[in-house]
Amino acid sequence: MLLQYRASSRRILRPGFGYVATTSMLVLLLGGCNDTGETPSPRRVADSASIHDAGAEPSSEADPACTVSRDPDAIVAGTALGECIATAMIAAGTGVMVLEGPEMETTTTQYQFRPRLTVVVGNDTMRMVVTDSGGWARGPDGHWLQEDESSSNPAVRIATATLRGLRATMQPAAIAGGYGICPEWVSEGLSSVEGDEFSDYQAFAFRCAAPYQLAGITVTQLKIWVDSTFLPIKAITSSQSPILESSTVSHFSAWGEPIDIPNVATAP
C-alpha cells in the first residue's frame, strides 16, 4: 500500500468524512465528472511515477465517424451524442471540469485518459485521486485513505465505495452512456453560450428533449454546449427528488493540457 492510515477508529469516523462521501456521491450523480477545489491552470504533471506515466501528445481531432447533426431542430439519439462527446474527450487526452451549484461546494475534476485513467476530484472539504487500478480519498483532517476492498474499517469502506463509483463513471462507455440516458436531444445549432463569462463565444448547443430518471432523481433540464469537435464547453442541469432539488453548472476547459496529480506517496 502506498498509504498507511494509522489512526483510531474514532478519529477515522469523524462526522466530516460522512459529509465528504455524501458530497462525492452528489458530484457523481449530478455532474458525471468533477474536481479539485482549486482554479485549474496549466501545470506540470506531478512527479509521482506510481500513478502517472507520460504518454503521447493528445490529439484534438474529432472522430470522423461522428455523424450527429448540428443543424437547428435536428433530433439526435442520446447514445449517438454520448459516443461523439466521449470520443472527443478521450482524443483530447486530458481536461478539467468545474461543477458548481447553490446546494453544493464548487468541485473541480481533472481527468486524464491516456496512457492510463487518472482522475483528480476536489473541493475545500475533500479530495480524491483515482487511477485504473487504485484510489485515494482525503477528508477534512488532511489524511488520505487508500481504496481497500478487504478493509473492515467503516471509513475506508465508504471511501472505497465512493472511489470505485468515481472510477466507473469515468470509463469511456460510462461517459457515453451518461449522455445517452437522455433518449433524445434537440440540436439548437450554433448559438451563444449562456453566461457573462463567455461573452460573444458561440458553440453548438443541444438540450435534452424531455425529463428523465437517473438513480431515483428526475433530471428536469439538461443542456450542453460543445465545440466543433464535440468537446464539451458548458452544461447546465436541473434535477429533483423527494428530498432534493438541485441546479448545477459545469464548465469544461484545458482540453489536452497537463493536469496536476497529487503525489499521494508523500502525503500525510
- What is the DSSP track for 203-248? EEEEEESS-EEETTEEEEEEEEEE-TT--EEEEEEEEEETTEEEEE
Kindly state the cell numbers that stand for 229: 469537435
**What would the mean pLDDT of 213-224 be, rounded to a whole number?**
89
pLDDT above 60: residue 240? yes
How far is 226 from 16, CA to CA, in rounded Å?
37
Spatial contact of 105 and 240, defined as CB atoms under 8 Å apart? no
pLDDT above 50: residue 29? no
Q: What is the pTM of this model?
A: 0.74
- Domain 9-37+66-260 CATH assignment equals 2.60.90: no
Place of cell 442541469: 237
Lowest mean per-residue pLDDT among 70-74, 101-105, 153-157, 158-162: 101-105
Kindly state the cell numbers that stand for 197: 463569462
Kindly state the cell numbers that stand for 180: 445517452
How far is 179 from 60, CA to CA, in rounded Å?
20
Distance of CA 253 to the CA centre of its chain: 12
User: What's the pLDDT at 184?
Assistant: 96
Element (H, E) at 167: helix 154-169
User: What's the pLDDT at 268?
Assistant: 45
How far is 114 from 94, CA to CA, in rounded Å?
8
Lowest mean per-residue pLDDT among 3-7, 59-63, 101-105, 146-150: 3-7
pLDDT above 70: residue 266? no
Lowest mean per-residue pLDDT among 43-52, 162-171, 239-248: 43-52
Contacts for 266 with CB less than 8 Å, ≥ 6 apart = none
Spatial contact of 89 and 83, defined as CB atoms under 8 Å apart? no
How far is 97 from 248, CA to CA, in rounded Å?
12
DSSP percent split of the chain into helix, strand, coil, nearest 5: 25, 30, 45
How far is 163 from 83, CA to CA, in rounded Å?
24
Q: 35-39, 177-181, 224-228, 237-241 — which one is most confidently predicted on average? A: 224-228
Domain locations in the chain as residue ranges: 9-37+66-260
Longest dimension (CA), the chain: 60
Kindly state the cell numbers that stand for 175: 461517459
> What count of Cα atoms within 13 Å lies in the side-chain half-sphere of residue 74?
17
Kindly state the cell numbers that stand for 90: 478521450
